[in-house]
Homo-oligomer: A and B are copies of this chain.
Amino acid sequence: MSTALILVDVIASFFHPDQPNYYPEATKVLDPIAELLAAARDRDTLVVHAVERHYPGLTDFEHQKLPQHCEIGAMDSSYVPGFEPTDRNREVEVPKRRYSGFYATDLHLLLREQSVHRVVVVGVKTNVCIRATIQDAFAGGFDVLLPEAATNSNRPHLAAATLEDIDRYFGQVVDLAEARTAVADR
């Protein structure tokens, strides 16, 4: 079984105090994510950076519910310093325009081509992009691990409900040590 580490939206929008979706607790996930990222790189595990990237000036169905955000090249879509992709082959940026990293992207294809059967998903927000990505990962047949310390939300009660749903219907909520073991097992 080959494992991939998927970072969801580790971008300024949620982590930088000047940006619109910032919330202070977000930064608590950075150390756990950094630890998993280091473990993945150490073993040359596939790492996917699934990040919001919208087309400037074009209509986007998300604008039905959200203001314009994370346009290509804009500040809010920039990586949190230290969490940029490296130039390793097995480190890929997947631009996304929906909550799920699988929607209208090549993520499913990429994972299959690399013989990935299990994904460790980390980032923000638990009840929005993390959950949406995990819904599609499970639907597509991937085993899903979500390390609790590596995800949160500005609305803790919604994060808690999603964790319960994920553990019951989509995958496993695990501790950091288990996730680290998984990403080391490429």
Contacts from A to B (Cβ < 8 Å): 55-61, 64-66, 89-90, 92, 97-100, 103-106, 108-110, 112-115, 127-128, 132, 135-136, 138-141, 143, 155, 157-158, 160-162, 164-165, 168-171
Contacts and interface: CB of A to CB of B under 8 A. Distances in A.
Given A55-B92, A92-B55, A135-B135, A112 B97 contact: no
Given A58-B89, A104-B106, A113-B58, A98 B161 contact: no
A169 B126 CA distance: 13
B114 A59 contact: yes
A118 to B, nearest CB: 11
Contact of A157 (B55, B136, B161, B168): B161
Nearest to A170: B65
Contacts of A155: 164
A22 to B, nearest CB: 17
Contacts of A66: 169
A157 B160 CA distance: 10
